[in-house]
Amino acid sequence: MPQALRAAHGGKEHLYRTLAATDKRAAKLEATAWEVSLKTAWAARSSPSGAPQATLRHLYATYRTLAREGAFAAHLPSPDPLAFDSFTESIDLTLDLMADEAEERDFTPEEQAKVWALNDAKAEHMGQRVKPRKELQATFKELAAEHLRLWKIEPGRRETNTEQQKVATFDLFASFFGERPLRDVTRADASTFADALRQLDSNWARTGKAKGETPAMPWKELQRTFGGRDKGLSDATVNRHMATLSALWKWAEAREHCTGRNPFEGHRRSLKVGKNKNPYVAWEPEELERLFSPPPARADLTEVMIVALFTGMRLDEIVSLTCGQIRKEEGVTFIDITAAKTDNGIRKVPLHPRLAWLAKRVQGKAADARIWPKFTGEGPGNKPGGDAGKEFSRFKIALGYTSRTKAFHSFRKNVVGYLERARVPENEVAQLVGHAKQGFTFGTYGSQSLLQRRAEIVALIEYPGLNLPTPE
């Protein structure tokens, strides 16, 4: 007996019952049925809204299986020669007994689930087609949660903050659609949702009123507070939301939770540069001068900006660095990036001469100690990039740089652009910054190793006239 419910049962820790079965197999089936009924009732009492759907589905499935295995035949006193057969007679007898026990009151949700299970087991036995019980179908949110759980345990899945994006999509649609089965989603529902997203304030999730709401802000309130804008979420963001929902439908369809045309397909808008796609662009020389004259008040933010300028590394790759990732091989000191979203991101980035201070910084320190520990981890992957990104955004906005095309990622564009102008082969640039390679690159360059060649490339990066602080 659950601790919280013992008081209602005279403080009993265990419940006992004499079974009516006459053989070991029937007794096991009867005991299983009783145990499932008890646990369902306990779950219903613990839930503010009564027996949850998932528990009722489990009860239904268990009783249907028990009926299929003949658990209720043990209660048959004597065969009725006019009955369809002993199986259906035993089911009918059990249903009659349940109706008598309930008398004039309505069945409880648990009892109703049992009745459905027995009726469907009888229909199945008689060769009739049994339709899914709409009342017991998983809701959209339940299916989304199961889909996400299985997605997370896929072999080779890396810890990323992509999970947060999926959760945000599912929470938004659940708020819009309500506690209904996924199979009930129509094309009109999906279209209405997509249209609403395109009118939703792009900063809605960053405001104190919506952020951290538990439960999530109701859809009507969300629309009243942040909806109806002339310019809402970007087409790229809406595309991502609809692609996530489309993937959920395909997953659910393969498991027979829904059928028919995927309602979330056909809402994607093509992205064209200059129209509805605004990629990151490099910082101009005068903009770089403003970013470092004066530099940010936080020394750690200044340092990661400098590292980005001379490595082309992503923000989270930099702020996640540990002392043990600064290594030396073949006379070359480099940053060993061992974890990335893709295999291409796993690479060795030689230290630029302007980053010699970084090699000195890590001497004598524990290999697992983070170089910039003040940036706190966020999300499922406990990544500090989100915290650092917010700090940089506040800094650049304070300087008047509000365009989303100018961000920390723009430092990476500076590095790639400089190397392209220096006529470094595209394939070698791709290897250095962790992009997919477009062709084949030899592993050696005469007497030089690949690492030595990369060090030579990195040393080319310069920003003439830019006055940068030198960290200690």
For residue 436, give the nearest of 362, 354, 342 by alpha carbon. 342
CA dist 245 and 313 (Å) reads 32
Query: What pLDDT score does 367 carry?
Result: 95
Nearest-10 Cα torsion for 418, 423, 427, 430 = 0
Query: What pLDDT score does 288 carry?
Result: 95
| Percent of the chain scoring above 70 in pLDDT | 83
Residue with tokens 């082309």: 312
Say if residue 162 is exposed, middle or buried (CB neighbours under 10 Å; 0-12, 13-18, 19+).
Answer: middle
Mapped onto helix, strand or coil, the DSSP state of residue 277 is strand
- pLDDT single digits (tens) 147-158: 999 998 888 666
Mapped onto helix, strand or coil, the DSSP state of residue 424 is coil
* pLDDT mean over 281-310: 95
Within 13 Å of residue 85, how many CA atoms lie on the same side as its CB? 6
Query: Which residue type does 274 have?
Result: G
Which residues are within 8 A (CB) of 27 and not within 5 positions of it... i.e. 6 or more apart? 19, 21
* pLDDT mean over 92-101: 84
Decide: 415 and 461 in contact? Cβ < 8 Å: yes
Query: What pLDDT score does 443 carry?
Result: 41
**Is the model more confident about 448 or about 191?**
191
pLDDT at position 399 over 90: yes
Query: What pLDDT score does 462 carry?
Result: 93
For residue 449, what are its two tokens? Answer: 């190793």
Mean pLDDT of the chain: 84
The answer to whether the peptide bond before residue 295 is cis (omega within 30 degrees of 0) is no
Query: What pLDDT score does 278 carry?
Result: 63
For residue 57, what are its two tokens? Answer: 């589905």
At 45, the pLDDT band (50, 70, 90 cuts) reads low
Our CA angle for 443, 448, 454, nearest 5°, is 70
Please give the DSSP secondary-structure letter assigned to residue 72.
G
At 442, the pLDDT band (50, 70, 90 cuts) reads very low
Least confident range from 47-51, 62-66, 80-84, 414-418: namely 47-51
Query: What pLDDT score does 194 carry?
Result: 95
Least confident range from 27-41, 176-190, 278-292, 387-401: namely 27-41
**Is the model more confident about 391 or about 100?**
391
At 211, the pLDDT band (50, 70, 90 cuts) reads low
- pLDDT single digits (tens) 400-438: 998 888 999 999 999 999 999 999 998 888 888 887 655
| C-alpha dist (Å) from residue 247 to 139, 263, 381 | 16, 11, 22
pLDDT at position 461 over 80: yes
| C-alpha dist (Å) from residue 36 to 6, 44, 65, 125, 130 | 18, 12, 12, 23, 23
**Is the model more confident about 271 or about 24?**
24
CA-only gyration radius of the chain, Å: 31
Q: How many CB atoms lie within 10 A of CB 224?
A: 11
pLDDT at position 50 over 50: no
Query: What pLDDT score does 70 carry?
Result: 81
At 294, the pLDDT band (50, 70, 90 cuts) reads very high
* pLDDT mean over 436-462: 69
At 276, the pLDDT band (50, 70, 90 cuts) reads very low
CA dist 219 and 176 (Å) reads 5
Q: Which of 222-236, 264-278, 437-451 has the highest mean pLDDT?
A: 222-236
| C-alpha dist (Å) from residue 267 to 141, 233, 263, 274, 382 | 21, 14, 9, 21, 33
CA dist 289 and 469 (Å) reads 12
For residue 403, what are its two tokens? Answer: 């365009």
pLDDT at position 272 over 60: yes
Q: Where in the chain is the domain with CATH 1.10.443.10?
A: 285-458
Query: Which residue type does 253 have?
Result: E
Class of domain 285-458: mainly alpha
pLDDT at position 296 over 90: yes
At 208, the pLDDT band (50, 70, 90 cuts) reads low
Least confident range from 114-118, 268-272, 286-290: namely 268-272
* pLDDT mean over 191-209: 84
Least confident range from 94-98, 140-144, 279-283, 452-456: namely 94-98
| C-alpha dist (Å) from residue 139 to 215, 339, 385, 472 | 17, 36, 34, 57
Query: What pLDDT score does 358 carry?
Result: 95
Decide: 368 and 326 in contact? Cβ < 8 Å: no
Which string of DSSP letters, residue by residue, matches 246-268? HHHHHHHHHTTS--SS-TTTT-P
For residue 200, what are its two tokens? Answer: 């939703």
